Amino acid sequence: MFDIGYPVKIIRCSGAAIIASFLDEGEIDEFMIHVIPKFIGEGISLFAPGRRNVTLKLISCAKFPDGVVKLHYAVRK
C-alpha cells in the first residue's frame, strides 16, 4: 500500500467510506469485528453503500465474559 521501507502489518480503519475504499481496491486482507450485544436501532454502517461481493473465511472467534464476540476473518481473493 505505502512504500515506507517495511511491510505494513496492521492498519486500523474506522469509517464506512475509508473501509469501503480499501476493500474496493483489494487492500484488506483480514477483518477483526467485535459484536457488542446491544440493539441500538440505528448506528454507523461498517461499509459505505455499494455493490460488493466479498467472501470471508473465519479464522477464529472468541467470546468474552461481557458477551462481546470477536470474529477474525480472512478476505478470500
Judged by DSSP in three states, 23 sits in: helix
Is 4 among the domain residues?
no
The domain total for the chain is 1
Per residue in 10-51, pLDDT (tens digit) is: 666 667 788 888 888 888 899 999 998 887 777 667 777 776
Q: Report if residue 42 sits inside a domain.
A: yes
**Terminal-residue alpha carbon distance, the chain:** 16
CA 11-72-60 angle, 5° bins: 145
Do the domain assignments include residue 50?
yes
Specify the residue for cell string 521501507: 5
Q: Is residue 38 part of a domain?
A: yes
Is residue 19 in a domain? no
Helices vs. strands in the chain: H and E counts, helices first = 1, 3
pTM exceeds 0.85 for this model: no
Confidence of residue 65 (pLDDT cuts 50, 70, 90): very high
Query: Is the separation of the CB atoms in 6 and 42 below 8 Å?
Result: no
Q: Which residues form the domain of 36?
A: 29-75
Residue 16 lies in a domain: no
